[in-house]
Structure 1
C-alpha cells in the first residue's frame, strides 16, 4: 500500500532514509532548511514541500530526523506540524534527543489528536543508505504496528522498547556501550603498537576471541583489517564524532539525574566532547584512536612514522 509520508530533516541520515521510502513506492513530501540537502533528496524522488507544515498537511505519516530536542519541540509547537496535520496522523521522530523532550513531544502529539512514536536509529549513514538501520521505538503498541511497514523499508530491525521515550532510553544506553567500546578498542591498538604488535595480528586474535565487538570488527579504528571501516577513508564519517559526543552527553545527563554509578560512561562522554570540539569535529568517531595515540608518550604510529 502506498503511504504519503512527510519527511522533515533530509541530512546525512534523513536523505537516504527518505530515498528508500521512495524506492519502496511511497510518496514522500520532503522539507529541509538546507537547500543542498533538499535538492539531493528531490534528485532521489522526494517531492519538494514549501514548508514542514505544508508537507505534514498532506501526509498519512510524518517522520522527523532533527539535530536536537529543541528542534523537535519547536516543530511540534503551536502552528507547527501537529496543527497542520490531519487528525490521527502518525508522527515518528527518528531524532536522538533527551528522554524528557521525547516524552514532551509524545504528550503534545497526543493532545493534538495524533499517534506518536519515538524511533531513534542505529547504523549510521551506511545503514541509512543500505536500509539496514535498527530502530528502537517507544510509544503505544498500535502506533508501533502502524509504523512498522515504513520502518521495515528503512531498516532491518525494529524493536518496540516500551512506552513513550523508551526508544530514546535504549538509544543512549546502546551508544554508551559503543562509545566506551570504541575507546577500549582504540587504546588496545595503541598499546599493541607500543609493544611492537601489528594491527593485523591484534585484529586476527581479538576478532576471534573474547575482545570481539562491533567497534572492532565493523568500525575498526585502524586502517587495514576491515576495508570498509572509516579508518580506510581518512576517518570520513560514518558516524561523526560530534554525534557520538552528543549521544554520550545525553547518556551522561541521564546517569547524573538517575544517580547511576557509570564511571566509564561519564569518562567516555568527557573524552568524546573534547575530541569533537577539536581535531574530531569532522571525523568519524573511530578517529579518537588518533587522539589516544597523540596523548600516549613514546608511542609510534607506523603509518605516519612519527612519535607522539
Structure 2
C-alpha cells in the first residue's frame, strides 16, 4: 500500500482521500478549514499541521485546490519536503498554462507530474465513481491508474501535461450550456402545462437527454437524488461552474475560437453568482430562468 499526501480535504478532496483510506492506503492530509480537518480525521486520515509535513515521506502527493494560484503556492511550499521521484497528481481544475507551469516546477526537482481533473461532483467523489481526465506521461499514468481506480469509475489519458485540463474546461462548457438549455425547456414545458415527470420521462429517453437532466434534473421529483430535492444543496456549485466557464472563456480568447453558446453560458452563470447564488447547485439556474 502507498503513503499518500492529500492536500485539500474539502467537499471533493475529503471523500476522495477517504476512499483511498478504505482501500488500505495510508493517507496524510492537510486543509486550512477546521471542519474539513475534523471530518477527515473521522474518515481515518492523519491530518498534519502543514502541507509540507503531510508531504514528507509520501510516495504520492494529490492536490485538490480551488485555483491555479493556490496550486502554485502549495507546490512551492511542499517541494523541499518531497522525496526524490515523488508522484504529484493535481486534480484541481485550473488553466492549461497553470498545469504546465506546475509540471515544470515539479519535474525540475526530479519528480513526476500528472494533471488529473475530475467530473462527477460531490456525489461521484463520495461514491468513488469520478471520471478522471489525465494529462502526462503514459508510463506515469499507468503507475497512477490503481489510485484512479479507487477514486473513480474511469480514467482516460488525454495526452501530455495540460490535456486533462483542456478536456475538463471543454466538458464543463458543454455542461453549462446543457444545464441552461434543460432549465429553459423545463420552464417552457411548465408554462405550456406539461407535468415535469412527463417531460422527464420523454426527454430522458429522447434526443434531448443529458446528464443535466437525467442526473441533475433541476426540478424536484423525477430524480430523487438531484439537488433540486434538497434546496439546491450543491453537487457542483454555481460558483465552481462560473470559475470553470471563465477558464473556458479565457481559452476561447487565447485560441481565437468562436463559441456563442459557451460565452452565453459564462455570462449566465456570472449573473447567478453576482445575484448571490454561487453556493447553490449549478441546476439553480432554472430559478434564474423563471425570474427572467
Name the TM-score class by shorter chain.
Answer: over 0.9
- Compare CA radii of gyration and give the structure with the larger one: 1
Q: What CA distance in whole angstroms lies between the structure 2 residues aligned with 1:234 and 1:33? A: 27
SS in 1 for 2:103: helix
Alpha-carbon distance, 1:277 to partner: 2.4
Q: Deviations over 1:63-110 (max 9, x none)?
A: 000000000011112xx2222100000000000001100000001011
Residue 148 of structure 1: how far off its partner (Å) = 0.7
The equivalences for 1:131-210 within 5 A come to: 131-210=128-207
Q: CA deviation at 1:141?
A: 0.9
TM-score by length of 1: 0.93
Q: 2:43 maps to which residue? A: 44
Look up the match of 2:55.
56
**Residues 271, 102 of structure 1: alpha-carbon distance in 2 compared, 3 angstrom cutoff:** same
Shift of 1:197: 1.4
Describe the superposition over 1:136-157 as per-residue Cα deviations: whole angstroms up to 9, x where unpaired. Answer: 0001112211111111101110
- Give the match for residue 90 of structure 1: 87
Q: Distance in 2 between matches of 1:136 and 1:152?
A: 12
In 2: Cα distance, 1:92 partner to 1:217 partner: 31
Unmatched 5+ residue regions in structure 1? 296-308
Which whole-Å CA distance do the structure 1 matches of 2:273 and 2:148 have between them? Answer: 30
Name the structure 2 match of 1:74. 73
Q: Residue 115 in 1 paired to residue 118 in 2? A: no
1:242-280, Cα deviation, whole Å (9 max, x unpaired): 000001110011011111010000110010011022242
Quote how far apart the aligned CAs of 1:193 are. Answer: 1.3
Moved more, 121-130 or 203-212: 203-212
Distance 2:34 2:159 in 1: 36
Q: Distance in 2 between matches of 1:240 and 1:290?
A: 14
The 8 Å contact of residues 102 and 168 in structure 1, kept in 2 or not, is answered as yes
1:194-221 per-residue CA deviation (whole Å, 9 max, x = no partner) reads 1111211211111111111111111101
Q: Secondary structure of the residue that 1:33 maps to in structure 2?
A: coil
**CA distance in 2 between partners of 1:279 and 1:226 (Å):** 26
2:154 aligned counterpart, secondary structure: strand
2:7 maps to 8
Matched, 1:228 2:225: yes
Does the aligned pair in 2 maintain the 1:7–1:31 contact within 8 Å? yes
- Give the match's secondary structure for 1:292: helix
Stretches of structure 2 that go unaligned for 5 or more consecutive residues are none
| SS of equivalent to 2:277 | helix
Q: Distance in 1 between matches of 2:72 and 2:245?
A: 21
Q: Output the CA distance in 2 between the equivalents of 1:117 and 1:81.
A: 16
Look up the match of 2:210: 213
- Report the TM-score, using the length of structure 2 for normalisation: 0.99
> Root-mean-square deviation (CA), in Å?
0.8
Aligned length: 292
